[in-house]
Structure 1
Amino acid sequence: MNQLNQLKQFTIIVADTSDIESIYQYKPDDATTNPSLILQAVKVASNKNLIDNAVEYAKKKGGSYKQKIENASDKILIDIGIKILQCIPGYISSEVDARLSFNKEKCILKAQKLINMYEEQGISRDRVLIKLASTWECIKAAEELRKENILCNLTLLFSFAQARACAESNVFLISPFVGRIYDWYISKNLITSSSFEQDPGVLSVRKIFNFYKRHSYNTIIMGASFRHIDQVLYLAGCDRLTISVNLLRELQLNTEIIERKLIPPTIFAKPPSPLSESEFRWEHNQDSMAVQKLSEGIQLFSKDQLALEKILSKEI
Structure 2
Amino acid sequence: MSATLHSPPSSALISSSSLKGRKLRLAAQPVKPSLNLKPLNAFPLIRASINFSSSLDTGLSTELDAVTSFSEIVPDTVVFDDFERFPPTAATVSSSLLLGICSLPDTKFRSAVDSALADPHCYALAKSDDRMSCFFNKALVNVGGDLAKLVPGRVSTEVDARLAYDTNGIVKKVHDLVKLYQEIEVPPERLLFKIPSTWQGIEASRLLESEGIQTHMTFVYSFCQAAAAAQAGASVIQIFVGRLRDWARNHAGDPEVETARRRGEDPGLALVTKAYNYIHKYGHKSKLMAAAIRNKQDVFNLLGVDYIISPLKILQSLKDSVTPPDEKYSLMRRLSPQSAASYNFSDAELVKWDQYSFSSAMGPAAVELLATGLDGYANQSKRVEELFGKIWPPPNV
Instruction: Provide the TM-score with structure 1 as the length reference.
Output: 0.84
**Would you say the 8 A contact 1:226–1:232 is kept in 2?**
yes
Say yes or no: does 1:231 pair with 2:294.
Answer: no
The AA in structure 1 aligned to 2:357 is E
| Residue in 1 that maps onto 2:117 | 55
How far apart in 1 are the matches of 2:65 and 2:82?
16
Cα 1:303–1:272 change in 2 (3 A) is same
Which of residues 262, 285, 291 in structure 2 aligns to 1:218? 285
**Structure 1 letter corresponding to 2:102:** V
Counterparts of 2:333 and 2:93, CA distance in 1: 27
* Partner residue in 2 for 1:283: 361
Shift of 1:37: 4.1
Greater Rg by CA: 2
Equivalent of 1:304, from 368, 374, 380?
380
Unaligned runs of 5+ residues in structure 1 are 192-196
| Alpha-carbon separation, structure 2, partners of 1:108 and 1:86 | 26
Q: How much has 1:214 moved relative to structure 2?
A: 1.3
Structure 1 residues 60, 124: CA separation in 2 closer, same or farther (over 3 Å shift)?
same
For residue 97 of structure 1, what is the aligned residue in structure 2? 160
Matched, 1:9 2:69: yes
Tell me how far apart the structure 2 counterparts of residues 79 and 60 of structure 1 sit (CA, whole Å). Answer: 14
User: How far apart in 2 are the matches of 1:186 and 1:22?
Assistant: 40
Secondary structure of residue in 1 paired with 2:294:
coil
Q: Are residues 38 and 109 of structure 1, via their aligned partners in 2, closer, same or farther at CA, if it must alter by over 3 Å?
A: same
Question: Is this contact kept in 2: 1:17–1:31, CA < 8 A?
Answer: no
2:371 equivalent in structure 1: 295
Q: CA deviation at 1:95?
A: 1.1
Unaligned runs of 5+ in 2: 1-53, 55-61, 258-263, 393-397
Match status 1:240 vs 2:307 = yes
Tell me how far 1:88 sits from its aligned partner. Answer: 4.1
Task: Report the counterpart of residue 266 of structure 2 in structure 1.
Answer: 199
Q: Amino acid of the residue matched to residue 139 of structure 2?
A: I
Higher helix share: 1
Partner letter of residue 355 of structure 2?
E
**How far, CA to CA, are the matches of 1:303 and 1:69 in structure 2?**
15
Q: Tell me, what secondary structure is at the counterpart of 2:338?
A: coil
Indicate how the Cα distance of structure 1 residues 76 and 226 shifts in structure 2: closer, same or farther if over 3 A, else same.
farther
Deviations, residues 195-227 of structure 1 (Å, cap 9, x unaligned): xx9432222111110111111111111222333
* 1:129 CA displacement: 1.1
Distance in 2, matches of 1:96 and 1:103, equals 12
Mapped to 1, the partners of 2:89 and 2:265 lie a distance apart of 29
- Contact in 2 for aligned 1:18/1:80 (Cα 8 Å): no
TM-score computed with the length of structure 2 as normaliser: 0.68
Contact 2:218 2:239 in 1 (8 A): yes
Per-residue deviation at 1:241? 2.8
1:265 aligns with 2:343: no
- The worse-fitting range, judged by mean Cα deviation, of 228-237 and 99-108 is 228-237
- State the distance in 2 between where 1:121 and 1:15 align: 30
Alignment RMSD (CA, Å): 3.2
> Residue 217 and residue 203 in structure 1: after superposition, are their counterparts in 2 closer, same or farther (change >3 A)?
same
CA distance in structure 1 between the partners assigned to 2:121 and 2:232 by the alignment:
39
> Between the two proteins, what is the percent identity of the paired residues?
26
For 2:87 and 2:269, the matched residues in 1 are separated by 25
Cα distance per residue 1:71-98 (max 9 Å; x no partner): 2212222233334444544333211110
Runs of 4+ in 1 over 6 A off after TM superposition: 268-271
Is the partner of 2:350 in helix, strand or coil? coil
The aligned amino acid for 2:114 is D
What's the offset of the Cα at 1:28? 6.7
Higher RCO (Cα < 8 Å, 6 or more apart): 1
Matched, 1:315 2:391: yes
Query: Which of residues 74, 80, 84 in structure 2 aligns to 1:20?
Result: 80
Residue 50 of structure 1, CA deviation: 4.1
The answer on whether the counterparts of 1:58 and 1:69 sit within 8 Å (CA) in structure 2 is no
Q: Tell which deviates more after alignment, 263-272 or 98-107.
A: 263-272
Q: Is 1:159 the equivalent of 2:222? A: yes
Change (3 A) 1:118 1:253: farther
Matched, 1:42 2:102: yes
Q: Secondary structure at the match of 1:314?
A: helix
Change (3 A) 1:87 1:229: farther
Shift of 1:304: 0.8
Quick one: distance in 1 between partners of 2:105 and 2:76? 21
What residue number does 2:275 align with? 208
Q: 1:220 to 1:313 in 2, by over 3 A?
A: same
Deviations 1:110-144 (A, max 9, x none): 01111122222222211211111001111111111
Contact 1:17 1:33 in 2 (8 A): no
Farther-moved stretch of structure 1 (229-238 vs 107-116):
229-238
Matched length: 309
